[in-house]
Every structure is written in C-alpha cells, then in structure tokens.
Amino acid sequence: MIKNIIFDLDGTLVNSSNDIIDCLRRAYAALGLEPTRLINDSLIGPPLKDMIKLISPESDDFQDSLLIKSFRDYYDNSGFCGTKLYTGVQDLLERCRNSDIRSFIATNKPEKSTKRLIEILNMDFFLDLVTIDNVQGFTSDKEGMFLYLIKKWSIKRDATFVIGDSASDIIAAHQVGLRSVAILNGYGDADEIKRSNPEYCLNRIDELAELIFKTGNT
C-alpha cells in the first residue's frame, strides 16, 4: 500500500516556466549580461546556479552570484502570476489527504519562494516542504532531501512513491530505495527520463490518481 508520496514541484505539480523564464531574462538584462544560450523552459529543473551555468557557462563566480541575487529579487517579489497548477493536481492532493496518504514536497526552490507559492496556489496539503536551503544534516540534492524525509518521518521505502519530471528525480529515488513515477509532460527530456528506468511513466500528473487509487494502491 502506498502511504507516502514525495512530489517534485516545478514541472510536476506546477507549471512555473513563465515566471522563471521572465525573471531570468530580467536578471540578465538588469546586469547588462548577454545570455549565451536561449532562455526557455528546457533549462528549468536543476538548481538555479546550475541553470545560470547552462545559460552563460563563461561567467565567473562573481557574476553568477550577482545573477542569482538579481533573479531572487525579481522572482520572490513577482507574485507568481504566471505559475499555474497542472490539471488535476488539486483533486489529486485532496484525494491523497482523504485517503490518509501523506504528501511531501522535495524541491530545488528555496524555502521562501516555495512557501509563498504553496500559499498563493492554495496547496496546503503537505506534511513537510523540503527545499534546497532547509535540509538539515543532509546534502541539498534530491537524494539528500529524500533521506532527510525518510529519517524525519520514519518513511517506509516500500510504501512510498517519488513523483518527478526529470531523470535526476528518478535516479535519486532509486539511490535511496524508493519507487518512482515519472511525469513526461514536465521540463525533463522524455527519452532521458525513460532511460532512468522509473517504475511507472505517466504522460500527465492527473493520471497518477488512477495509478494510486484504481490499481489497488500497490
């Protein structure tokens, strides 16, 4: 029986690409820096510092830190008007709560913007939010986040799904012995995700309810 679900956020539960892309472009423009790579949703998913390194691999650490600060200033004060829940997410989370399935978030977003986004989108369904800057005693990558949740909440691995839209989510789940469900319409490359061998592949997040509730929840 599945009793716990650990969700990725961006590209899995929410489509945040418009806000992230807009704020990245504004950050580069504000500093007078020219991106080497086109800023689009193919960049979204990794931690911000990794996205910036993809956009401008020639920039030095000082420029990267300025870009991160500029992005955070724009993003944290953006109001997240361009970020939307994917179809079916609200109903899915409500059904999980009503079925005593514990829901968690593990995201590369910082805690401040994660909490604000959860509040704006009325997503008060999660027992814990683990972010890139609030993992205590573990590494801040997804593997560390999963281990943190496992220890803190006494999570049984065989009763838990990790839901993500990138190969890195799936690989991290496997590294800590958790079963994984890949969502293919997020930001990750579908072929790369399939090569990471998730236990299940779904085209959209709204298909997850059928997997959990109509297959005996096994």
Pair of tokens at residue 177: 């012995």
Whether 145 and 203 map to the same domain: the answer is: yes
∠ CA 56-191-214, rounded to 5°: 125
Q: Are residues 96 and 178 in the same domain?
A: yes
What tokens appear for 204 in the block? 């959209």
Q: What is the pLDDT of residues 123-169, one digit of tens each?
A: 999 999 999 999 999 999 999 999 999 999 999 999 999 999 999 99
d(CA 54, CA 35): 9
pLDDT band at 42 (very low <50, low <70, confident <90, very high): confident
The pTM assigned to this predicted structure is 0.93
- What is the distance between the alpha carbons of residues 150 and 178, in angstroms, rounded to a whole number? 10
Residues 58, 172 contacting (CB under 8 angstroms): no
Question: Which residue range(s) make up the domain with 67?
Answer: 17-76
pLDDT at 203: 96
Last residue of a domain, one of 76, 97, 124: 76
Question: Does residue 218 belong to any structural domain of this protein?
Answer: no
Digit-coded pLDDT (tens) for 74-113: 999 989 999 999 999 999 999 999 999 999 999 999 999 9
Q: Is the model's pLDDT at 218 over the cut of 90?
A: no
Residues 6+ apart with CB under 8 A from 61: none
Q: Do 188 and 103 belong to one domain?
A: yes
Mean pLDDT within 33-45: 88
> How many domains does one find in the chain?
2
Distance from C-alpha of 205 to C-alpha of 28, rounded to nearest angstrom? 32
Q: Indicate the average pLDDT of the chain.
A: 94
CA distances 177 to 41, 134, 149, 202, 203, Å, are 30, 22, 13, 20, 23
The letter for the amino acid at 33 is L
- The model's confidence at residue 45, banded by pLDDT at 50, 70 and 90, is confident
Are 46 and 107 in contact, with CB atoms under 8 Å apart? no
Q: Say what the pLDDT of residue 54 is.
A: 94
Could you give the CA distance from residue 30 to residue 23 in angstroms, rounded to a whole number? 10
Same-domain check for residues 28 and 111? no
Burial class (CB in 10 A: 0-12, 13-18, 19+), 161: buried
Which CATH number characterizes residue 62's domain?
Answer: 1.10.150
Residue 105 sits in a domain whose CATH number is 3.40.50.1000
> Taking 80 as the threshold, does the pLDDT of residue 10 lie above it?
yes
10 and 28, same domain (yes or no)? no
- Geometric angle at alpha carbon 10, from 92 and 13, rounded to 5°: 5
